[in-house]
Amino acid sequence: METLCPCWVGEHPAEPKPDRVIYLVRGEKKTRSPLSQLYFCRYCSELRSLECVSHEVDSHYCPSCLENMPSAEAKLKKNRCANCFDCPCCMHTLSTRATNIPAPMPDDPTKTTMKKAYYLACGFCRWTSRDVGMADKSVASGGWQEPENPHTQRINKLIEYYQQLAQRERQERDRKKMARRRQCMPMAFSQHTIHVVEKYGLGTRLQRQRAGAPLSSLAGLTLKEGEDQKEIIIEPAQALDEVEPLPEDCYTRPINLPEVTTLRQRLLQPDFQPSGASQLHPKHKHLLMKRSLRCRKCEHNLSKPEFNPTSIKFKIQLVAVSYIPEVRIMSIPNLRYMKESQVLLTLTNPVENLTHVTLVACEEGDPEDVNSTAKVMVPTKELVLAGKDAAADYDELAEPQDFQDDPDVVAFRKSNKIGFFIKVVPQKEGDTDVLVSFKIRHDFRNLAAPIRPNEEAGDATTEAIWLTHHVELSLGPLAP
């Protein structure tokens, strides 16, 4: 099942399914997302979404050969893998295949021996490197070269010139700032200058400086004042009056459709942008990166993946689903305008200890309650959720705890999950989805080591704090 975060802007697939249960994140920007896409900072005791955390690159790796690469090396190779290629036709990964060709023996030209020749082939669209005229290589890997961009020299010169310009601008700005302020705040400097310099892609070195580094170390990396620097002069681009004319048969020549490249194929090779399929050369595969997330307020890491690209585990994984009780919709009856119906929801407790949950309907004029189209009556009594017991499936002799549930409110109870009813009265007629919202208030214990709950945490903070979250449920359209 595919879920789209509402804050994602990009190409939308055919029919994005609406997220059914969303939680409100009270950050700088109020975002609403399903709980599975949120993080929970247990130091601030608040929900965080991808928009209110800072993203940092951990490592680069190739998705097909899983080769790790430090960031500096990745930048040198323009974020591409050295060994793997992408099919220029369908963007799949190319595989190397071998054939046996007869080749004359080095000693005796008259006799032939079978030698292995390698070529690249795509398993999906059956493109081969022979289609564009690339000769078979005698080595399995490392023999394939991307064609050289004819404008490389000019581009490199331009980049050097602009980097120099950026350095100069940054130095002037820093000089001005230093003169103005007595107490220089290094944090303000570094962050600002890093942003400026990033404009022209300068400086992995500068980026690596953490906020708070003194300014002198920055200056040390670049030019010292007064040092002679080779002035880079570039010739300005010249505008030409005459343009190459179109070929004469431009309008009359019949199009050979298989030969015309699609826009996507063309733009993936910005160097050449060939219009003919016989000039589509394979490109090296783009690297992917592993990123770690950091809370902007308390600077603690929220998500830190393992360094090894073959491992999908996390060193630090403070995801919301492992701390906040999750509300899920179990069954929705036919909803009718202005008629009260009962909706069955489930509430799951992710932590090991007992949790008390109270649901509160939103008040009139609640600024967070903007989308709801129905009135909701939530159970007034406090709901108690049992702790998550990992061994519950295997321990058949465990006595079920007696919670004395009100059968009008609690439909069923199963280890750390309960099903409960809410009453919904749709207030709006028409085609819009019925949306209800309420607040969920639960107690949260900030354990010292939440991964090992059985440890005797005698003096650890076991005092509970009460957290309130705003939850919105989308119950689908009214019954016809």
Partner 1 sequence: GREKVQSTYSVKIAAGAVVCVESEIRGDVTIGPRTVVHPKARIIAEAGPIVIGEGNLIEEQALIINSYPENITPDSEGVEPKTMTIGINNVFEVGCVSQALKIGDNNVIESKADVGRNVILTSGCIIGAFCQVNTCEVIPDNTVLYGSGCLRRVQTERPQPQTLQLDFLMKILPNYHHLKKTVKASQNPS
**Which residue is listed with tokens 């403070």?**
318
**Which residue is listed with tokens 């080769």?**
67
268 sits near partner 1 (criterion: CB under 8 A)? no
Q: CA 149 to CA 350: how far, in whole Å? A: 55
Strand partners, 438: 361, 471
90 sits near partner 1 (criterion: CB under 8 A)? yes
User: Which residue stretch of 122-130, 160-168, 172-180, 387-395 sits at the interface with partner 1 (rule: CB under 8 A)?
Assistant: 122-130
52 sits near partner 1 (criterion: CB under 8 A)? no
Q: CA 387 to CA 447: how far, in whole Å? A: 14
User: Which residue stretch of 126-134, 221-229, 417-425, 461-469 sits at the interface with partner 1 (rule: CB under 8 A)?
Assistant: 126-134
User: Which residue stretch of 127-135, 182-190, 282-290, 359-367 sits at the interface with partner 1 (rule: CB under 8 A)?
Assistant: 127-135
- Out of 35, 89, 202, 374, the only residue in the binding site for partner 1 (CB under 8 A) is 89
User: Which residue stretch of 119-127, 326-334, 385-393, 405-413 sits at the interface with partner 1 (rule: CB under 8 A)?
Assistant: 119-127
The rounded Cα 192 to chain-centroid distance in angstroms is 25
134 sits near partner 1 (criterion: CB under 8 A)? no
102 sits near partner 1 (criterion: CB under 8 A)? no
Q: How far is the CB of 110 from partner 1 (least distance, A)?
A: 28
Q: CA 368 to CA 358: how far, in whole Å? A: 18
Q: How far is the CB of 256 from partner 1 (least distance, A)?
A: 9
187 sits near partner 1 (criterion: CB under 8 A)? no
Q: How far is the CB of 147 from partner 1 (least distance, A)?
A: 19
* Closer Cβ to partner 1, 123 or 477, answer by number: 123
130 sits near partner 1 (criterion: CB under 8 A)? yes
67 sits near partner 1 (criterion: CB under 8 A)? no
Q: How far is the CB of 405 from partner 1 (least distance, A)?
A: 49
* Closer Cβ to partner 1, 10 or 258, answer by number: 258
- Out of 105, 125, 338, 460, the only residue in the binding site for partner 1 (CB under 8 A) is 125
Q: CA 69 to CA 288: how far, in whole Å? A: 10
306 sits near partner 1 (criterion: CB under 8 A)? no
323 sits near partner 1 (criterion: CB under 8 A)? no
392 sits near partner 1 (criterion: CB under 8 A)? no
126 sits near partner 1 (criterion: CB under 8 A)? yes
398 sits near partner 1 (criterion: CB under 8 A)? no
Count, residues near partner 1 per rule CB under 8 A: 12
| CA dist list (Å): 376 to 270, 385, 477 | 55, 22, 16
Residue 238 structure tokens: 């010249």
* Closer Cβ to partner 1, 130 or 181, answer by number: 130
Q: CA 302 to CA 262: how far, in whole Å? A: 41
443 sits near partner 1 (criterion: CB under 8 A)? no
258 sits near partner 1 (criterion: CB under 8 A)? yes
User: Which residue stretch of 120-128, 178-186, 216-224, 407-415 sits at the interface with partner 1 (rule: CB under 8 A)?
Assistant: 120-128
87 sits near partner 1 (criterion: CB under 8 A)? no
Q: How far is the CB of 14 from partner 1 (least distance, A)?
A: 11
Q: Which residues contact 418 (CB under 8 A, 6 or more apart)?
A: 346, 347, 383, 385, 405, 410, 411, 412
Q: How far is the CB of 145 from partner 1 (least distance, A)?
A: 21
The residue among 377, 380, 376, 374 whose CA lies nearest residue 441 is: 380
120 sits near partner 1 (criterion: CB under 8 A)? no
User: φ, ψ for residue 182 (rounded to 5)?
Assistant: -75, -65
- Out of 8, 124, 307, 466, the only residue in the binding site for partner 1 (CB under 8 A) is 124
Residues near partner 1 (CB under 8 A) are 89-90, 124-128, 130-131, 258-259, 277
